[in-house]
Amino acid sequence: MEFNINRFIALLKRELMVGSRNYLNVIFILLILGIKEVSSILFSLEYNFPLDNGDGFSILIGILTIAVSIQVLRASETKMKSNFGNSILIPASSTEKYLLEFIKVFIVIPVLYTSSIIFLFLIRQYLLTNLVGELPKGFSYLLVIKYQLKDYISILPLYSIVLYFSLFKKQMAILSVVFIVFSVLIFSTLDQLIGGVIAGKTVFNILPYYGTQGFNTFLIIFEVGLFLFFQYLSYLRIKEREV
Amino acid sequence: MIEINNLKFGYKRNKLVIDDISLHIRKGYIHGLLGKNGTGKTTLLKLVAGLLFPDSGEIKAMGFEPMKRKVGFLSDLFFLPEEFDVYKMSIENYVKTHSVFYPNFSEEDFYNYLEEFEITNKKSKLNSLSFGTKKKVIIAFGLATHAKLMILDEPTNGLDIPSKAQFRKIILRAMTDETTIIISTHQVRDLHNLIDSILIMDEGKILLAANNQEITSKLYFGIEAQPIQTQDKLYSEDTIGGNVFVKENKNFEESNIDIELLFNAVFQNKAKIQSLFPNKKGE
């Protein structure tokens, strides 16, 4: 494995320069999709309803958000086959290129998503209070971050699968998103079934230590294993991509 | 520089685009890769650049296997695709963000090449330039990387007539003993007086691989007022200036290669050419 920190920093700089517009587009998309999340948090606080995003629909929304964001971040590459070729031929190692993808997908997108939600709450708090009233009691920005972190951990193994499948389709962003979501849903169903067999009943949470299922060591090992396995496959995919 | 042995590749399982090619491409030469549309030129170039992986056979370029995409290989390779898009950034920023990956990049050379191409505003946005100008910027960048292997796929497409002449001039200036340039084109006239070695492809195979000296030692390119009548003639055509022809050079006469005539002669006399140039490895 070749890794050079200076080259990696250069790769990050290039990513920011080349994809600045894509990042702005992602922020816009996340702001739109974040409205649903803001509503859920407000609803749960208002009516003292447990906020558990481990159900299938929330997973689907989460996966869709990630899949769309990844594809938008790749817009410069997918726009033309030659740009995709250029990014393959950038003189950096596969490890560095994989780490770049990892940072984009597992750090940048969640941070942007959480920031978008906080931004929406700020708008709600400072610009819309006169129209829709005060924020519910018990609300805090720390709570929002906590919720997001919980959701993030819960879908992490599926997140890993999203990254892997997103590396297949080079063009047709919409088709890619459908392809990713479909693949992830198959895996998530299998995952839930395995969880159900192991835990004795249906498991809606991807990481069963949060939510209603309690803690199950075997499932955690399984989920972490699933995450790492698809990370390794993603690395191989980046290494062996062809135009 | 590049060693290709029994290379096979197909986009579909039952149809080979590259059909058992073996080639030796020497360093310090400008190689012209010629062929009709769809004969596998671009595919061969992509295989050499490591953008595609062979189905069987092997490729070694600069001592590396291209498909492994080692940094040492990539930083000594410049690949100009036939069609490309540019990023939304200024020429200046493009250079800043991309040159760092090429240890031998010379900013001075880059701006000299741009000047030669008559591009003076380095603050111009790449995406706002015409296709030809974008191409000139990318070519200037590629040459300034001083990469040991430069692969240019249809580099003159989209360039106007003066730019084609500038292109030839700049390529010759950038050439060193350590550099190997492969230029693929079907516009053979654009390569006039530029290439040292010719590779002609047809249906995934190499029909001819030879350097200029070897070609002129075996073929004679001439022009006569009237069509010549000889059994040695491989190809001829009438032009305004007279009848141009290619014939076997049995008398060891000196002549200059006319790439277009050679190309047509090769396609009309495949068997004969193969008997004249049996060593397709081009050594």
Tell which residue, B146, B85, B113, B91, has the closest CA to residue A17: B91
For residue B89, list chain A residues with Cβ-Cβ distance below 8 A. Answer: 17-18
Calculate the average pLDDT of chain A. 80
The owner of tokens 């890769």 is B33
Higher pLDDT, A165 or A9: A9
Predicted pLDDT of residue A86: 83
Per-residue pLDDT of B195-253, as tens digits, reads 999 999 998 999 999 999 999 999 999 998 888 887 788 999 988 888 999 999 888 88
Higher pLDDT, A74 or A51: A74
Average pLDDT over residues A210-231: 73
Report A:43-102 residues touching B (Cβ under 8 A).
76, 79-83, 85-86, 88-94
Q: Which two tokens stand for residue B13?
A: 């399982």
CB distance A230 to A163 below 8 Å: yes
B11 touches A at CB < 8 Å? no
For residue A89, list chain B residues with Cβ-Cβ distance below 8 A. Answer: 49-51, 69, 74, 77, 79
Report B:42-101 residues touching A (Cβ under 8 A).
46, 49-53, 69-71, 74-75, 77, 79, 81, 83-85, 87-89, 93, 97-98, 100-101
Reported ipTM: 0.86
Beta strands in chain B (DSSP E): 2-9, 18-25, 30-35, 56-61, 77-80, 149-153, 180-185, 197-202, 205-211, 219-224, 233-239, 242-248
For residue B150, list chain A residues with Cβ-Cβ distance below 8 A. Answer: none
Helical H segments across chain A, by residue range: 5-46, 56-73, 75-78, 81-89, 94-102, 109-126, 129-132, 141-154, 156-166, 173-199, 217-239
Task: Tell me which CATH code domain B27-53+65-203 carries.
Answer: 3.40.50.300
Record: contact A242-B101, CB cut-off 8 A: no
User: Which one of A14, A21, A82 has the shortest CB-CB distance to B84?
Assistant: A82
d(CA B220, CA B248): 6
Closest residue in chain A to residue B82, using alpha carbons only: A82
Record: contact B70-A13, CB cut-off 8 A: no
d(CA B133, CA B94): 14
Per-residue pLDDT of B17-75, as tens digits, reads 999 999 999 999 999 999 988 899 999 999 999 999 999 999 999 999 999 999 999 99
Higher pLDDT, B265 or A130: B265
The owner of tokens 């869709």 is A64
A10 touches B at CB < 8 Å? yes
Q: Which residues contact B55 (CB under 8 A, 6 or more apart)?
A: B8, B9, B10, B16
- Confidence category of residue A196, pLDDT binned at 50, 70, 90: low
Q: Tell me the angle at which helices B161-174 and B131-144 cross, rounded to the nearest 10 degrees.
A: 10
Predicted pLDDT of residue B180: 95
d(CA A10, CA A96): 10
The C-alpha angle with vertex A49 and arms to A43 and A54, in degrees rounded to 5, equals 95
d(CA B145, CA B77): 9
CB distance A49 to A196 below 8 Å: no
DSSP class of B107? H
Closest residue in chain A to residue B42, using alpha carbons only: A243
Per-residue pLDDT of B70-91, as tens digits, reads 999 999 999 999 888 888 889 9
How much is the pTM? Answer: 0.86
The number of C-beta contacts closer than 8 angstroms across A and B is 72
d(CA A106, CA B90): 30
d(CA B269, CA B50): 33
- Which residues is B31 bridged to in the sheet? B182, B197
Per-residue pLDDT of A9-40, as tens digits, reads 999 999 999 888 899 999 999 999 888 888 88
User: Where in the sequence is the domain holding A52, given as residue range(s)?
Assistant: 5-239
φ/ψ of B75, rounded to 5, equals -80, -10
Per-residue pLDDT of B141-155, as tens digits, reads 999 999 999 999 999
CB distance B201 to B282 below 8 Å: no
Number of domains in chain A: 1
CA distance A177 to chain B (A): 23
Record: contact A85-B79, CB cut-off 8 A: yes
d(CA A201, CA A23): 41
Q: Please state the domain extents for chain B.
A: 27-53+65-203, 205-283
Record: contact B85-A17, CB cut-off 8 A: no
Side-by-side strand order, sheet with B180-185:
B77-80, B149-153, B180-185, B30-35, B197-202, B205-211
Predicted pLDDT of residue B279: 62
Interface probe, candidates B44, B51, B138, chain A, greatest A C-beta count within 10 A: B51
Amino acid at A221: I
d(CA A103, CA A109): 9
- Confidence category of residue A204, pLDDT binned at 50, 70, 90: very low
Predicted pLDDT of residue A168: 75
Q: Which two tokens stand for residue A66?
A: 């990630």
Gyration radius from chain A CA atoms: 19
Predicted pLDDT of residue A192: 66
